[in-house]
Copies of this chain bind each other. A is one copy, B any other.
Amino acid sequence: MAKYCIGIDVGGTTVKCGIFTTEGELVEKWSVNTRVSEGGSFILPDTAESVKARLWDLKIDQADVVGAGLGVPGPVDADGVVPVAVNLHWGRKDVAGEFRELTGLPSAVGNDANVAALGEMWRGGGEGSKNVVMVTLGTGVGGGIVIDGKMVSGSHGAGGEIGHINVNPDETVKCNCGNAGCLEQYTSATGIVRLANEELAASEDASVLRNDEVSSKSVWDAYKAGDVVAARVVEKFAAYLGRALAAIAATVDPEVFIIGGGVSNAGDPLIDAVSKVYRAYAFSSCKDIPIVLAKIGNDAGIYGAAKLALDAANA
Contact = CB atoms under 8 A, between A and B. Distances in A.
Copies in the complex: 2
Interface in A114-167: 131, 145, 147-148, 150, 152-166
B252 A152 contact: yes
A289 B156 CA distance: 9
A162 B251 contact: yes
Contacts of A166: 243, 246-247, 281
A243 B169 contact: yes
Size category of the A interface is 35 or more
A161 B248 contact: no
A254 interface: yes
Given A155-B131, A169-B243, A239-B169, A250 B286 contact: no
A259 interface: no
A177 B284 contact: yes
A150 B148 contact: yes
A152 B147 CA distance: 8
Given A177-B284, A283-B177, A289 B250 contact: no
> Which residue among A178, A181, A247 has the maximum number of chain B CB atoms within 10 Å of its CB?
A247
Nearest to A283: B164
A145 B160 CA distance: 15
A119 B273 CA distance: 41
A13 interface: no
Interface of A: 75, 131, 145, 147-148, 150, 152-166, 169, 177-179, 181, 239, 243-244, 246-255, 280-286, 289
